[in-house]
Structure 1
Amino acid sequence: MMLLSDWSKMKKLLIGALALLLLSGCGSITADSGSDTSTEIGYDRSEAKVALSEGSAIAVDQQMIQTASITLRVDDVAQSADDISQYVASIGGRIDSKNEYRNPDSSEITSTDLMVKVPSEQLDAALERLKSFGDLEGFSTSASDVTLQVIDLDARIASLETSIASLKKLLDEATTVTDLLAAETALSQRQSELDSLKSQRTYLADQIKLSAIWINIYPKNALDAVKPIGFVAGLEKGWEAIVDFASNLTTWTGLALPWFGLLLLLAIVLRLFGAISKSRRKR
C-alpha cells in the first residue's frame, strides 16, 4: 500500500511538469509569431536611423543652399529690369517674382524688385555680371549647409519604400479580413508619409540646384540730392539751377502778362471816367 501511494504522487508530479513544459513552449511560439507580425506591419523610425548611420559612412557631396542680395542704381529702371530678366533666362535661370513701383503723377517706374533663381554652379559668375548692370550700392551673400537634412530625408524615404514593399507583400498574402484591413491601413499611412517626404526632398533639391538672388533697382537721380558731387559738378548744378529759375521766371511772366494787361485796361478806363467827371463839374 505504501508503494502504491508513492507511485501515485510521482505520477501527479510528472503530469504537472509536462503540462508546464507544454505551456511554456506554446507561449514562446505565440510571442515569436506576434513579434514577426509587428515587424512586418509596423514601421519603426529606428530603421531610418540605421539607414542614416549607414549613409553617413558613405562619402556624400556637400549640399549647400546659397542666396544673395544686390542693390543697383541705374539710369533707366525699366530697361535695366528687362536686361537683367533676359540675362537670367539666358543662363538657365528664372524670374520668381517682380514688383514695380510707379510715380502716380507720371506713371514712370521709380523702382523694381526682382527675385531670380540662377543655377548654383554659375552663381559667382552671375553675381559679377549682375553688378555690371548699374552702380553697386549694396551686396550680400549667405550659404546654409543642408547635407544632413538631405541624408536624413533620403534614408527615411528608402526605409518607407522598403516598409511599403513589405506591406504590399503582406496584403497579397493576407488570409483574413482583419489582416487585410490592418495591412491596407498601414500601407495608406506609409504611402502618405512617403509622398510628404518626397515633396520635401524635391523642394530641397530645387533650393540646392538654383540659388535665389534678390535684386533691388533704383534710379540714380534719386540719389543726387544726398550724393557728394564735387566742385565742377557743383558749378554745373548751379548753372542748371539758374537755367531752371530763368525758365520758371519766364513761365510765371507769361502767366502774369494777361493780368497786367487787364489791370492796365481797367486803369485806363477809370482814368477816362475820372477825366470826364472832372470836365463836367467845371461846366
Structure 2
Amino acid sequence: MKIWEYIKSHKITSLLILVIIYLLYKNSGGIVPLRPNTYDSAPMTGVSEGMSLKLGSPSYMGRGIVPPQPDYAPAPDVTDRKVISESQLSIQVKNVRDATDKIMTFAKRIGGYMVNTSLSNPGEAPSGYIVIRVPQAKFDESLIFLRSLGIKVVWENLTGEDVTDQYVDLDARIATLNRTLLKFQELFNKAVEISDILNIQREIINIQEQIDSLKGQQNFLDKSALMAKISVNLSTDEFSLPYAPTDTFRPEVIFKQAVRSLVDQLRKVGTWIIWLTVYAVVWVPVLLIVLYIKGKYSSKRTVKK
C-alpha cells in the first residue's frame, strides 16, 4: 500500500516514470539482433497443370479446315525409376569453417557442387549451414563422409520422392503436342485465306511454347533425380543444432538451457541500463525540475503553516 500512497502523493513523478519506462521498453526491442535462418527451402515440386490447347477458331472452322484433335500416347512401361533423393543432417563439429571447406572440397571432387552456405556467430559458439548437390551414385558415399566429419551426428533425415509417373506424364503430353503441331503445320501449308494462315500460325506458336515449357520441366526432373540434395547444419554446440530429443528428462540439457536463459536475462538487463543511461539526458533534467518544483511547493506550505 505504500507504493499506492506514494503514487497518489507524487502523481507527476509517477507519470513521468511510467512514460520513461514505456519509451525504454518500446525502443529496446529494436536493438535485439535477429539470427537469420538461411535455409534452402525451395521445394522440388512439380509443374503447373494449367496448360490448355487453344485448338480451333471460328475464322477457319467455317471454311472447311477442321483443327486436328489431339490423340494420346500410351504410357510406356518404366523400369528405370526416377527418384529425387534428399537428406538433412545436424552435425556437431570442432571447427565450423574447416568442416564447411571440407564439405565443399568433397562435393567438387565427386562431381557435385555447392548450392549455398552461411556462417553465423563466428566468435562465440559458431554455427553454419551448407547445401550441396552430389551425383545420385555418390549419395551413400557422401553421407558416410559427412558422418565422419563431426564429433556427433545429432540428427539425420533421409527422404526420397518418386517422380517417375510425373516424368512419364510429361513425356506423353510432349508427344501428343508434337503430333498436334505436325497436323497444324500441314493445315498451315494448305491454308489460302490470310485469316486462316494467321490463326493457324498463332496456334502453332502456342503449341510450341507449351512443348518448350514441358521439356524444361522434364529437364528439371532429370537433373534433380541425377543430383541428390544434402543440407547440413553445423555447430560446435550440440544444443544449438536442430534435432528431436529422444529423452524426456535430461538434466545436463536443462542446466545448459537455464544458464543460457540467465545470460539472456542479464543481457536484457544490460540493454535496459544502456538505454536508461542514454536517455538520462532527457529524464534526469525533467526529474530534477519536478523535484525542484515539488520542494518549492512543500516549503511554501510549511511557511504558511
The normalised TM-score by structure 2 is 0.55
Taking the TM superposition and a 5 Å limit, the aligned residue runs for 1:24-35 are 34=64
Give the conservation status (yes or no) of the 8 Å contact 2:114–2:133.
yes
Taking the TM superposition and a 5 Å limit, the aligned residue runs for 1:55-94 are 55-56=75-76, 58-94=77-113
Instruction: Tell me the CA shift for residue 221 of structure 1.
Output: 7.6
> Are 1:219 and 2:248 counterparts?
no
> Are 1:37 and 2:54 counterparts?
no
Equivalents in 1 of 2:174, 2:106: separation in Å? 37
Partner of 2:194: 177
Partner of 2:130: 114
Q: What percentage of residue pairs aligned between the two structures are identical?
A: 25
Equivalents in 2 of 1:109, 1:88: separation in Å? 26
Partner of 2:116: 97
Equivalents in 1 of 2:238, 2:82: separation in Å? 42
Partner of 1:202: 219
> Are 1:130 and 2:146 counterparts?
yes
Give the conservation status (yes or no) of the 8 Å contact 1:153–1:201.
yes
Partner of 1:153: 170
Instruction: Tell me the CA shift for residue 227 of structure 1.
Output: 6.8
Please tell me whether Structure 1 or Structure 2 has the larger radius of gyration of its CA atoms. Answer: 1
Amino acid at match of 1:55: A
**C-alpha distance after superposition, 1:186-234 (max 9, x if no partner):** 11110121121111111111111111111001015878x9479xxxxxx
**Number of aligned residue pairs:** 182
Partner of 1:7: none
Specify the SS of the correspondent of 1:114: strand
Moved more, 165-174 or 181-190: 165-174
The normalised TM-score by structure 1 is 0.59
Specify the SS of the correspondent of 2:119: strand
Specify the SS of the correspondent of 1:37: coil
Give the conservation status (yes or no) of the 8 Å contact 1:88–1:116.
yes
Give the conservation status (yes or no) of the 8 Å contact 2:116–2:131.
yes
Taking the TM superposition and a 5 Å limit, the aligned residue runs for 1:239-254 are none
Give the conservation status (yes or no) of the 8 Å contact 2:94–2:236.
yes
Give the conservation status (yes or no) of the 8 Å contact 1:116–1:214.
yes
Deviating 4+ runs (over 6 angstroms): none
Amino acid at match of 2:108: A
In structure 2, list runs of 5 or more residues that go unmatched. Answer: 1-60, 241-250, 255-305
Change (3 A) 1:142 1:222: closer
**Structure (1 or 2) with the greater helix fraction:** 1
Equivalents in 1 of 2:191, 2:79: separation in Å? 40
